[in-house]
Amino acid sequence: MKLLRFGPKGHEKPGLLDTDGVIRDLSAHIDDLDGQRLGRSSLTRLAELDPSRLPEVAADTRLGPCVGRVSKFICIGLNYSDHAAETGAEVPPEPVVFNKWTSAICGPDDDVIIPRGSSKTDWEVELGVVIGKQARYVAEADAMEHVAGYCVVNDVSEREFQLERSGTWDKGKGCDTFGPLGPWLVTPDEIDDPHELDLWLEVDGHRYQNGNTRTMVYRIPFLISYLSRFMTLTPGDVISTGTPPGVGMGQKPPVYLRPGQRMRLGIEGLGTQTQGVIAEPAGNDA
């Protein structure tokens, strides 16, 4: 299934994409697409529904982030050896783990806002793994039983905040709108091998990233097992698994996002995101 959330920001409803590409409303069956609805039994019940009997949603309706009420947004850094090389970093002996704040989450086609004081806002197309079953000290052999599905993530990053302002990477990773999710949460039955998916990203029509998940250093079962040693993974948690080469920081000379530009990115079988880039609007202080 291709599950999704649609509607105005903060008021999204659950839905699915039928085989004809039509959005169908699931709100008569579940109140949201969140951790409580991502277990195997819940997903099985949704899969048994006849999409043709569900209300149709207008094609131009906004899509929200494909998972609601995310508890943790966990990211893996330098997880593609060729990306590590382009940034001048060594492949880490263990996964690099950092966080994006859940306030960074937005819809797949919402605008990305360049924060005040930013000069190095960058892009990163990544495969997102959504947890569907609690995981604590999980064996690698059992890890995939805890996956509800996969989605596209744009791990938008401010490189000066991340790398030049001291402290952890987190301050350059969690700005508002730096975590577009979706368009869909695709259940595992639709993906033969998540480690054999093409992924790509363009800015203003120029293809910067063009990779495949087969070049991950640390694969999904290991990552789930590894993370579950340090925290309990709960249904609805999102793990963003790293990016292939072609980020702006790796260009010679580096290239960073500017207001007025447009990003398009996608992963084979998981859909496409399109984001306009805008400056932080004036007068947005709390």
Residue pLDDT, tens place only, 59-118 = 999 999 999 999 999 999 999 987 878 878 788 899 999 999 999 999 999 999 999 999
86, 131, 191 from 39: Cα distances, Å: 39, 9, 18
Tell me the CATH number for domain 64-279.
Answer: 3.90.850.10
What are the domain boundaries of the chain?
64-279
Pull the structure tokens for residue 11: 């008021």
Q: Is the pTM of this model over 0.85?
A: yes
User: Distance between CA 11 and CA 242 in Å, rounded?
Assistant: 30
CA dihedral 101, 102, 107, 109 (to 10 degrees): 0
Q: What are the pLDDT digits (tens) for 243-267?
A: 999 999 999 999 999 999 999 999 9
The pLDDT of residue 283: 72
User: Hey, how many other C-beta atoms are within 10 angstroms of the C-beta on 28?
Assistant: 11
Question: Which residues, in sequence order, are CB contacts of 274 under 8 Å at separation 6+?
Answer: 108, 109, 262, 263, 264
State the average pLDDT for the chain: 96
What pLDDT tens digit does each residue of the chain (286 aa) get?
Answer: 999 999 999 999 999 999 999 999 999 999 999 999 999 999 999 999 999 999 999 999 999 999 999 999 999 999 998 787 887 878 889 999 999 999 999 999 999 999 999 999 999 999 999 999 999 999 999 999 999 999 999 999 999 999 999 888 999 999 999 999 999 999 999 999 999 999 999 999 999 999 999 999 999 999 999 999 999 999 999 999 999 999 999 999 999 999 999 999 999 999 999 999 999 987 766 5
